[in-house]
Structure 1
Amino acid sequence: MNRVKKVLINLVLPLIVIFILFTYNLFLGIAGILAYIAYIAYTIRTAIFVFLGNIRYSKGDLKGSSEYLRRAYITGKCKPATTASYAYLLLKSGNIEESEKILERLAASDISSDDKMLVKSNLALVYWKKGMIDEAVDMLTEVFESYRNTTVYGSLGYMLILKGDLERALTFNLEAYDYNGSNHVILDNLGQTYYLRGEYEKSLEIFEKLVSQKPSSPSTYYNYGLLLDKLGRPADALENLKKALGYNITFLSAVTEDEIKDKISDIEKRMG
């Protein structure tokens, strides 16, 4: 019944009004059509902004995508997933405070369980960037208990590495590998875990599989470069470290431009 009422109000009634306007005057009818189009555009503006934001994101325009999602957000009619995406883009550009504020407000609101897990997954990234690794691990562990997917496996696996709990990191990242052994983040995590444990041949096997897939993450080539340098292959290490600089490094990247350049400088000095 509500659907019928909506159709009557939003379609049938306006068409009747436009028809009446045309019977009085051609220009009044045209004005009525233009007003109706403007009304429709206004009512679906949130969806339009989200659509345009998604197009910008697919083209790699993070700034443009963030701006359209900001416009969608301020309409107050965003779906939780869209709001979480906007907060993620804010974080990716380095705006921690605003991202955290939006995510915490969303987490405290009345949203579905799946949406809440998505929000908490993003909030864990905020904690990571604030240096709150234990809190990030705890939150992702909570999410993992009821919401498991490749992204959560990747995020929690990396946080366990940062925490320094290499035993748990290895167990978890092997489980992640069983879950999705082709995902770049999961492979990077496992290869890095082996590297930090001194299991260089196992690490090499994982990284060779990963780089053969030509990932676009600078951290992959950086970590691979560290491994190759450890294995006594400085020239190959330099090649991969320089390759890392060719990819987009954002606030959410696991390595900074300075870290890459410092390692390159270190190897070049040793090579003479």
Structure 2
Amino acid sequence: MKSNALMKFFLKFLLPVLIFVILFFFNSYAALAFAVLYIAYSLYDGRSAIFAIMGNVSYGKGDVQKSMEWFRKAYATGKAQPKTIISYAYLLLKYGKVNESEAILDKFLSKSPAFDDEMLAKSNLALVLWKKGNLDGAVDLLEEVFSKYKTTTIYGSLGYLLILKGDLEKALAFNLEAYDYNNSNSVIVDNLAQNYYLLGELDKSEEIYEKLMSQNPTYPEAYYNYGLTLEAKGKIDKALENMEKALNFQFTFLSTVSREDVENKIKELKSKKNNSGEQ
């Protein structure tokens, strides 16, 4: 491995410098022409990385369509780095292009990638399975990944899918483990609080959601789920306030609640408030 890396370094950097020096010794114009051609070739050869950077910049600015287009260009070069490929597949999934995402991940995994890249790709493929309605397959795949590779993201994804499967005691054991692993991650905290809510342990759920709110989460589920706990505790005003906050954040194909879900719950809470005469 080291010898291969040294050879690549020699061919890509040292050899061109050596050629430039030799050419410059005999003919400075030839050396300059060589330098221009080498820079042009390097930019062309590294265009996938440049496209990926542009994709990240566009995404950071909130321009999802432009970001998707840059990542598509990076992928189309055939020279994209594994993390670029996986990021593109995730972006496609996040915005509803499930089959395209699955095809990219399947193709990537068929090439026997490095261990870390394989685990990351499989964890994303599990989300594809979930969104295609194969919850059991998604959980099985994530549990396979988790047995070899533990990260905050995997704890968060698997913790939520275990809740969806309905074995709330098993889910709770896992989400408590996840909380011990990283109690500052908003998804992990949300999973545990939601788990307690579904088990009817409302005081514990509210306590954990108050911790989550102090982190100012930037996704709608946190406020929606907190609102459900508050509603169950009879705190209609506060529940309504959090439901309305949920509408300030972006809903995507991977969101676990829809804008319509939130809007319907707001109407329901307003109706409860009016009927009870609560101020």
1:4 equivalent to 2:10? Answer yes
Deviation of residue 32 (structure 1)?
5.7
Deviation of residue 57 (structure 1)?
2.9
1:238 equivalent to 2:240? Answer yes
- Aligned runs of 1:57-136 on 2, under 5 Å? 57-136=59-138
Deviation of residue 19 (structure 1)?
7.7
**1:13 aligned to which of 13, 19, 22:** 19
Deviation of residue 132 (structure 1)?
1.0
> Structure 2: 5+ residue runs without aligned partners?
1-5, 275-279
Q: Please tell me whether the aligned partners of residues 89 and 104 of structure 2 are also in contact (alpha carbons under 8 angstroms).
A: yes
In 2 relative to 1, CA 41–265 (structure 1 residues): closer, same or farther, beyond 3 Å?
same
One-letter code aligned to 1:55: V
One-letter code aligned to 2:10: V
Give the alignment's Cα RMSD to 1 decimal.
Answer: 2.0
**2:56 aligned to which of 29, 35, 54:** 54
**1:255 aligned to which of 251, 254, 257:** 257
In 2 relative to 1, CA 81–270 (structure 1 residues): closer, same or farther, beyond 3 Å?
same
Three-state SS of the structure 1 residue aligned to 2:53 is helix
Deviation of residue 36 (structure 1)?
3.7
Cα distance in 2 for residues equivalent to 1:245 and 1:118: 30
Q: Percent identity?
A: 53
**1:168 aligned to which of 152, 167, 170:** 170
Counterpart residue number, 2:3: none
Deviation of residue 269 (structure 1)?
1.8
Cα distance in 1 for residues equivalent to 2:193 and 2:148: 26
One-letter code aligned to 1:133: L
Counterpart residue number, 1:45: 47
Q: Please tell me whether the aligned partners of residues 21 and 32 of structure 1 are also in contact (alpha carbons under 8 angstroms).
A: no
Deviation of residue 135 (structure 1)?
0.7
Counterpart residue number, 1:158: 160
Q: Please tell me whether the aligned partners of residues 153 and 186 of structure 1 are also in contact (alpha carbons under 8 angstroms).
A: yes
- Aligned runs of 1:130-209 on 2, under 5 Å? 130-209=132-211
Cα distance in 2 for residues equivalent to 1:196 and 1:177: 17
Q: Please tell me whether the aligned partners of residues 49 and 81 of structure 2 are also in contact (alpha carbons under 8 angstroms).
A: no
Q: TM-score, normalised by structure 2?
A: 0.89
Deviation of residue 60 (structure 1)?
3.4
Deviation of residue 127 (structure 1)?
1.0
Cα distance in 2 for residues equivalent to 1:182 and 1:4: 44
> Structure 1: 5+ residue runs without aligned partners?
none
In 2 relative to 1, CA 10–43 (structure 1 residues): closer, same or farther, beyond 3 Å?
farther
Per-residue CA deviation, residues 121-173 of structure 1 (Å, 9 max, x unaligned), is 00011111111111111010000000001100000000001111101100000
Cα distance in 2 for residues equivalent to 1:81 and 1:8: 27
In 2 relative to 1, CA 74–4 (structure 1 residues): closer, same or farther, beyond 3 Å?
same
Cα distance in 2 for residues equivalent to 1:169 and 1:239: 29
One-letter code aligned to 1:66: M
Cα distance in 2 for residues equivalent to 1:97 and 1:248: 22
Q: Please tell me whether the aligned partners of residues 119 and 145 of structure 2 are also in contact (alpha carbons under 8 angstroms).
A: yes
Counterpart residue number, 1:227: 229
Cα distance in 1 for residues equivalent to 2:80 and 2:146: 26
Three-state SS of the structure 1 residue aligned to 2:120 is helix
Cα distance in 1 for residues equivalent to 2:237 and 2:212: 19
Q: Please tell me whether the aligned partners of residues 56 and 62 of structure 1 are also in contact (alpha carbons under 8 angstroms).
A: yes
Cα distance in 1 for residues equivalent to 2:220 and 2:145: 27
Deviation of residue 12 (structure 1)?
3.5
